[in-house]
């Protein structure tokens, strides 16, 4: 039986990854996560350490990652802790692994914060054209990011990720929603069943030219109400970078910080 992480962030991550076809392999002290259908998905191909790494353990974990993911150009290590504290952080950073401490936020129910613009329609994706709009939205958001991913590889990764989320929705495990102006999708997100009355949000994004119109906040609320009715959701979970403005938005619609999700990643080395 798969181990259940203590971290709600990783618990819901793994639940959704399994819905998307990922595989988990329990080892002594860590879990290997593999997503064969999306090999460049960093956080679909990683190790989840069951305890914070001890000082002096870096080389051991690097070797374990290489053994589990011999073809990977990236490196990703999650830590199953809830408070974000880590004694060995400087050792890992010195090896080029970038730490992150994301905020895991939860609520039983969201509340709307401003009226929806009358020209906007919120609805689940329903057609091939809708999913093409979702891909276009994700690419536009990436292109506007000063730390954006290389376009060709990001398009391939995102296309595979969206196909997996679409299949999970079609199997009854959740849905992907868009805020549409006519046929153009300006904001989007997914909500998926993580089990036990827990629902996890995915990919909350708004087109760079449509920000500041209240689209994401309304969409978060709309999808949360849908999840309560259709997924029997009792706890809604969303994860945010505390340095980014999205966390403040989520708190305005009713979410509250619950724990810190800790991990390290090292992107692929660019080719000369």
Domains of the chain with bracketed CATH: 8-102+262-266 (3.40.630.30), 121-233 (3.40.630.30)
**pTM metric for this prediction:** 0.95
- C-alpha distances (whole Å) from 52 to each of 25, 30, 34, 193, 203 are 19, 10, 21, 28, 27
Joined tokens for residue 233: 């959701």
Residues with pLDDT less than 70, the chain: 270-272
Tokens of 19: 């819905």
pLDDT given for residue 150 in this prediction? 87
Which has the closest alpha carbon to 133: 104, 158, 96, 152?
A: 158
How confident is the model at residue 270, as a pLDDT?
53
Please name the residues in contact with 31: beta carbons below 8 A apart, sequence gap of 6 or more.
Answer: 2, 3, 5, 14, 24, 25, 47, 48, 50
Q: How many CB atoms lie within 10 A of CB 129?
A: 11
């Amino acid at each position: 039986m798969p181990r259940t992480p203590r971290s709600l962030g990783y618990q819901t991550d793994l639940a959704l990854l399994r819905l998307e076809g990922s595989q988990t392999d329990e080892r002594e002290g860590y879990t290997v996560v593999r997503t064969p259908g999306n090999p460049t998905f960093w956080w679909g191909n990683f190790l989840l350490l069951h305890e914070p790494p001890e000082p002096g353990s870096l080389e051991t974990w690097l070797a374990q990652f290489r053994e589990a993911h011999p073809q990977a150009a990236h490196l990703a290590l999650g830590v199953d802790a809830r408070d974000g504290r880590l004694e060995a952080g400087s050792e890992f950073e010195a090896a080029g692994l970038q730490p992150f401490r994301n905020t895991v936020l939860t609520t039983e129910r969201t509340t709307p914060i401003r009226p929806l613009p009358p020209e906007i329609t919120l609805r689940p994706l329903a057609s091939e054209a809708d999913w093409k709009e979702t891909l276009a939205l994700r690419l536009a958001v990436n292109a506007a990011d000063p730390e954006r991913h290389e376009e060709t590889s990001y398009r391939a990764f995102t296309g595979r990720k969206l196909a997996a989320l679409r299949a999970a929705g079609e199997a009854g495990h959740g849905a992907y929603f868009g805020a549409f102006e006519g046929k153009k999708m300006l904001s989007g997100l997914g909500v998926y069943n993580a089990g036990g009355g827990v629902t996890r949000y995915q990919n909350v994004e708004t087109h760079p030219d449509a920000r500041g119109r209240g689209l994401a906040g309304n969409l978060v609320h709309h999808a949360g109400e849908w999840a309560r009715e259709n997924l029997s959701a009792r706890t809604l979970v969303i994860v945010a970078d505390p340095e980014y403005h999205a966390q403040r938005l989520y708190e305005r619609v009713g979410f509250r910080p619950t724990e810190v999700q800790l991990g390290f990643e090292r992107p692929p080395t660019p080719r000369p």
